[in-house]
Amino acid sequence: MPIYEYECSKCGRIDEVLQKFSDRPLGKCRHCSGKLHKLISHSSFHLKGTGWYITDYANKSQSAAKPSNQGKQETNQSSDIPSKKPKKSKKPADKH
């Protein structure tokens, strides 16, 4: 069952209540009989493991849009290595 938070508009007290989805919302504060209104709070529900958008698919779209640093490192490393050029022969060219 979900936990709902209610705040009293008269005394300002906030209470947490376990309710079914089908239960009617509370209307009166149990402490001062003031009017209650339901609060929206952050959920502590987290999706863990594989098969969820955040763990599997969100990273793929980012990696496709941006080139990875590994490719840059590999190209930088290969540019640091001097290229092997054929050695010129020291023989003078024949002039005919």
With 60 as the cut, is the pLDDT of residue 76 above it? no
Tokens linked to 18: 């376990």
Residue 50 tokens read as 């594989």
What pLDDT score does 11 carry? 94
Chain segment 18-33, per-residue pLDDT in tens: 999 899 999 999 999 9
Which pLDDT score is estimated for 48? 76
pTM for the complete prediction? 0.44
How do residues 24-74 score in pLDDT, each as one tens digit?
999 999 999 999 999 987 777 777 777 777 767 776 655 555 555 555 555
Residue 28 contacts by C-beta under 8 Å, 6 or more apart in sequence? 34, 35, 36
**Residue pair 41/6 in contact by the 8 Å Cβ criterion:** no
